[in-house]
Amino acid sequence: MTALLRAEGVSRVLPGPQPVTLVRDIDFALGAGEFVAVTGPSGSGKSSLLYLLGLLDRPTAGRVAIEGRDTAGMSDDELAGLRLARLGFVFQFHFLLPEFTTLDNLLIPMRRLGRWGETEREERARALLASLGMAEAADKLPEQLSGGMRQRAAIARALANDPALLLADEPTGNLDTRNARIVFDIFERLVVEQGRSVVVVTHDQEQAARAPRQVRLVDGRIVHDSGA
Ligand SMILES: Nc1ncnc2c1ncn2[C@@H]1O[C@H](COP(=O)(O)OP(=O)(O)O)[C@@H](O)[C@H]1O
Ligand SMILES: [Mg+2]
């Protein structure tokens, strides 16, 4: 089987007089339709790992392949193209562009990808927002939305180009329990109903437990992977 994502022997060392190892010897394969929670102490390398899996950073050893394509030899532009087309990212902060409406925040990556014409883009973006219970947010600015709605708008933007894999780094870190649950409800639907894969880094043990596969990092190493 070709994994959706495969990391082999991945390490990332920050160079310098005293090199810092962010993650080491990571072997991790992810199939389509998998939902993985990554947990571990603060500073254990969770964000570093997510950036490597998401092609936002390059390993200093080992390799990451997406859908069977080794990314090691790719240029920065090729990596950016692959991220834009196949991956979606959600962070603790929503990073919506404040001067644009929610709809426009979704349309920006869609225009960059160029897969659909403008009419279809807008239809798809509005349908996506509606599917997340956010239809009425489309024409509002981020500042007019609640914190929970802003994070859901950020999730909608991450899904705008129909990615195979969603990567989320502490997406509920700024949310109350109810909104955290709504975010994980969405992740569950993406996996169960749409066959996407989700990798979520979280401190929230209650929500993390909902993911069928659990990965634990300590000191930059995977010390437990229930799906390996
Ligand atoms: N740019 C950097 N310079 C020096 N140390 C860093 C840098 N980025 C991360 N680190 C260190 O690498 C380790 C892993 O960081 P990180 O991946 O952010 O962990 P986590 O997300 O699990 O809290 C931490 O000890 C952190 O302090
Ligand atoms: Mg982190």
What is the residue with the minimal CA distance to atom 20 of ligand 1? 43
Instruction: Give the global pTM.
Output: 0.96
20 lines ligand 1 (CB under 6 A): yes
Distance, CA of 197 to CA of 176 (rounded, Å): 24
Among protein residues, the one with the nearest Cα to ligand 1's atom 26 is 43
CATH, residue 14: 3.40.50.300
Beta carbons of 132 and 152 less than 8 angstroms apart: yes
* Confidence (pLDDT) at 201: 98
Residue nearest to atom 4 of ligand 1 (CA): 20
Six token digits for residue 13: 């060392």
Residue 97 confidence (pLDDT)? 97
Taking 80 as the threshold, does the pLDDT of residue 156 lie above it? yes
pLDDT at 22: 98
- How close is the Cα of 21 to the center of ligand 1, in Å? 9
Taking 70 as the threshold, does the pLDDT of residue 1 lie above it? no
Run of H or E including 184 = helix 177-192
pLDDT for 15-66, tens place per residue? Answer: 999 999 999 999 999 999 999 999 999 999 999 999 999 999 999 999 999 9
Angstrom distance (rounded) from CA 192 to CA 154: 20
Of 37, 33, 12, nearest in space to 22 by CA? 12
Query: What is the predicted pLDDT for the residue at 228?
Result: 77
pLDDT in tens, 145-155: 999 999 999 99
Q: pLDDT tens, 101-116?
A: 999 999 999 999 999 9
CA-220 nearest atom, ligand 1: 14
What mean pLDDT do residues 74-101 have?
A: 97
Residue-number span of the structural domain to which 107 is assigned: 5-225
Average pLDDT, stretch 165-173? Answer: 97
Q: Which residues pair with 184 in a beta bridge?
A: none
Q: What is the pLDDT of residue 114?
A: 95
Query: Among 47, 48, 167, which is best to mutate for testing ligand 1, by the most ligand atoms less than 8 A from CB?
Result: 48
Q: Is the CB of 50 under 6 A from ligand 1?
A: no
> What is the overall mean pLDDT for the chain?
97
CA–centroid distance, 132 to ligand 1, in Å, is 33
% of the chain exceeding 70 in pLDDT: 100
Strands, DSSP E only, in the chain?
Answer: 5-14, 20-30, 35-39, 61-66, 69-70, 87-90, 165-169, 197-201, 213-218, 221-225
Instruction: State the total domains in the chain.
Output: 1
Residues 6 or more apart whose Cβ sits within 8 Å of residue 160? 88, 106, 107, 109, 110, 124, 125, 128
CA neighbor of 163 nearest in space, from 185, 135, 138, 190? 190
Q: Ligand 1 centre and the CA of 80: distance in Å?
A: 23
What's the gap in Å between 45 CA and the centre of ligand 2?
7
Q: Residue 70 — φ and ψ, nearest 5°?
A: -70, 130
Q: What does the pLDDT read at residue 50?
A: 98
Tokens of 157: 């933007």
Q: How confident is the model at residue 2 (pLDDT cuts 50, 70, 90)?
A: confident
